[in-house]
Structure formats: C-alpha cells, structure tokens
C-alpha cells in the first residue's frame, strides 16, 4: 500500500490500482512529478502484478498542470528536467503487464498525456479530452505529439493539438483515443472486470502479446513478426499453454453437451 499526497496504490490478487488523489481536479504541480517517480519505484518493487489500473478520485480525471507552476519554468529547467519527466510518463509502456486507464470528466493537457502511455483507455460517458498547450505558447512535450499521433493518426493529432479543441467520449472512441466508453457509474467496475480477465490469462502470453504489439508499432512489421516467432517458440513449450488449451476444450465440450 502506498499513501502519498497525490497518489494511492494498492495491490490485490495480482491487480494493482493507482489512484490520483487530489480531488476535485487532480491538478499536476511540482510535487506531483516527484511523487509519481516515487510511486513508480514502489510499484516496480512489487511482485505478482498481472495488470494495473490507473483511475482518479473526484469529478474529473485531471485538469492538467498547475499554471502557477508553469509560470516558474525556464528553458534551462526544461532542458534539465524534461528527459526525466518523459521517462516517468513512459513508465507504463515499459512494464511487462498491461495498464488500463479509467477516465471520467475533464482530462486535459498533462493529464491526457499521462494516460497516453497506458495500453487501454476506458472513458466514462462524461469524459472530455483536450490538449490546450499551443494556446498557452507551448507544444505538448510529454507524449502529446508522439504517442497521440500513434494513437489517432497524423490528421487527428494535428487537429487536437493545433486547435486545442475539446472532444467528448464518443468522439474520442471514434478517432481511437480511447478503446471503450461506459456509463460513469460503471467505469471502475468495467476497468476491474477487464483487468481480472487479463490477470487470469497465462502471464508469459500476456507479457509477450503486449511487447509484440509495442514492437510492431515502434519497429515495423518485420521486426514484429520476428518477435512473434521467438515468443511463440517459447510459449508453445510451456505448461501454461497445455493447461489453458485443455481447459478451453473442456469448456467447449461442456457447452456442446447442454
């Protein structure tokens, strides 16, 4: 269990839950990033995580960065700190287990960039997404121009970034920014159900599947197929595969007898 000023984390039956805990708006300020690094170190030290959920307390996921903090940032500060900030925002993609973000209400600027490194994003029907950095004299610098473009494509990324336009949950689903939309009251239950489904699958298969998709996205088709050859060679020699196949066949057989 981790209880900080900005984050809560607990692990139960292989499912970790990281909660932004500065309601109602979960504003990102200087201490947020320091504690994010600390909680990531804490999570890295935990054994047995099979899936992780990121959610937030309050009426919105995050209203983004504290503009007062932004006023005190210099070019020299950014030159020194930004590689570290990008690293802690990219933490989720480096984990062996899948990461699911459950988003409600406003998800703005740095708050949106925070979830771009998740593997799956689930939005409540009231969720609203925007990247207003250009209107503030900036360009998104923690995944906004890189990860967002991979998710939604060149044109949609330019539209969202250059205009700062806010999009609702259904449009976010249509353009590929999120993978599912659910009623607000079902948001955390849906994320938990998905996490439990993933956690029940053989661990090696889940790990290789995530890495294979990421590798293909980053390195291209040929690199992805070579990785598929390696992971399949490994997985087909595991006891987990034999047990999973036997259980699946037994389930199909039982259904056929009804």
Task: Spot the catalytic one: 35, 47, 94, 113.
Answer: 113
Task: Spot the catalytic one: 133, 165, 186, 218.
Answer: 133
Q: Is the dihedral of CA 215, 220, 226, 228 positive or negative?
A: positive
- Known catalytic membership, residue 218: no
d(CA 5, CA 27): 12
d(CA 131, CA 174): 17
d(CA 228, CA 212): 7
Helix or strand holding residue 147 (H, E): helix 147-152
Tokens coding 106: 């406003």
d(CA 117, CA 64): 16
- Known catalytic membership, residue 113: yes
* Residue positions annotated with a catalytic role: 113, 133
């Amino acid at each position: 269990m981790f209880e900080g000023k900005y984050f809560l984390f607990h692990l139960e039956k292989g499912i970790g839950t990281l909660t932004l805990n500065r309601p109602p708006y979960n504003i990102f300020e200087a201490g947020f990033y320091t504690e994010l690094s600390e909680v990531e170190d804490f999570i890295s030290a935990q054994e047995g995580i099979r899936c992780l959920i990121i959610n937030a307390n309050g009426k919105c996921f995050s209203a983004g960065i504290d503009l007062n903090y932004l006023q005190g940032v210099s070019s020299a500060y950014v030159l020194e700190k930004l590689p570290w900030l990008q690293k802690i925002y990219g933490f989720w993609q480096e984990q062996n287990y899948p990461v699911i973000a459950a988003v409600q209400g406003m998800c703005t600027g740095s708050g949106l960039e925070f979830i771009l490194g998740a593997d799956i994003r689930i939005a409540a029907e009231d969720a609203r997404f925007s990247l207003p950095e250009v209107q503030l004299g900036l360009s998104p610098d923690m995944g906004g121009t890189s990860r967002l473009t991979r998710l939604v494509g060149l044109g949609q990324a330019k539209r969202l970034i250059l205009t700062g336009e806010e999009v609702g949950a259904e449009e976010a689903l249509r353009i590929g920014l999120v993978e599912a939309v659910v009623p607000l009251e079902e948001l955390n239950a849906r994320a938990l159900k998905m996490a439990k489904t993933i956690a029940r699958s053989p661990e090696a298969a889940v790990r290789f599947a995530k890495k294979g998709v990421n590798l293909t996205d980053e390195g291209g088709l040929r690199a992805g197929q070579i990785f598929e050859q390696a992971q399949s060679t490994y997985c087909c020699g595991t006891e987990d595969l034999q047990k999973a196949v036997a259980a699946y066949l037994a389930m199909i057989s039982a259904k056929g007898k009804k």
